[in-house]
Amino acid sequence: MLRTEPAAISPAEFFERSRARLRFDVPPGLVDPDIIPSSGDYGTDRMLQIISREQPIRPAAVLIPVVDHPQPTVLLTLRAAHLNDHAGQISFPGGKIDATDASPLDAALREAWEEVGLTRDFIDPIGYLDLYGTSFGFRILPTVARVKPGFKLRISAAEVDDAFEVPLAFLMNPANHQVHAKEFRGMERSYYAMPFGERYIWGATAGILRVLYQRIYLS
């Protein structure tokens, strides 16, 4: 059952807890096919086991940019409609980890620059969140970061159609964490959705935000 009480910690406490609870240790499951990231949902975990046998691992990194306004926001992107993977979906800045990237953190920072022009001097990385697996074979390692306000974005039309901010308080309120379900090869798998006005935040993005809530907001 979902918890329905509002998430009630201050912005300062959010960043303090994040620094206390997150590290930059890279989990072996990012590249080890025998380690299946756990989602906590049986149908999803079973799906990931099947996908891991059929597709090569696709290590990826994303940035969770928490903008340090008096009431913090999370910077999200709308992926370009012409992309092959997750076209038109809401996402974090990020993508596949290249061989030239020194670390998943470096990949996330590079992607944030390439996709929306967010420069590293505005970004204060805090640590990695839990590894997250997707039905496309991606193993996503998210980096939580504190972002200074005042940046100017430069949207790359090749990858992103739009960028926007959503209040952290909305995303971290479990009353807004809807659970939807669909079938995958005869099995039901559930996924999170967090609709915000006209923005439909769902799938891996909503799932990663739910993990952030569980790691930082739940004692």
- Is the separation of the CB atoms in 209 and 201 below 8 Å? yes
> Which pLDDT belongs to residue 123?
98
**Backbone conformation region of residue 150, classed left if phi is above 0, alpha if psi is from -120 to 50, else beta:** left
Name the DSSP letter for residue 70: S
Quick check: 108 and 143 in contact, CB under 8 A?
A: yes
Locate 167 and state its tokens: 């209040």
Tell me the two tokens of residue 33: 């096919």
Q: What is the pLDDT of residue 1?
A: 39
CATH T-level topology, domain 11-169: Nucleoside Triphosphate Pyrophosphohydrolase (3.90.79)
Task: Tell the burial category of 205 from Cβ atoms under 10 Å away from its Cβ (0-12, 13-18, 19+).
Answer: buried
Burial of 65 (C-beta count, 10 Å sphere; 0-12/13-18/19+): buried
Exposed (0-12), middle (13-18) or buried (19+): which is 20, by Cβ within 10 Å?
Answer: exposed
177-181's contacts with Cβ under 8 Å and 24+ in sequence apart are 177/2, 177/206, 177/210, 177/213, 179/2, 181/43
pLDDT at residue 85 in the model: 61
**Model pTM score:** 0.92
User: What is the mean pLDDT, run by run of 10 residues, along the chain of 219 residues?
Assistant: 59 97 96 84 78 85 98 94 70 96 98 97 98 88 98 92 96 95 77 94 94 92
pLDDT at residue 83, as a whole number? 67
Please give the full DSSP string across 132-175, using - where no structure is assigned: EE-TTSEEEEEEEEEE-TT------TTTEEEEEEEEHHHHT-GG
Q: How many CB atoms lie within 10 A of CB 212?
A: 23
For residue 181, what pLDDT is reported?
85
Cβ atoms of 75 and 119 closer than 8 Å: no
Q: Are 95 and 60 in contact (CB under 8 A)?
A: yes
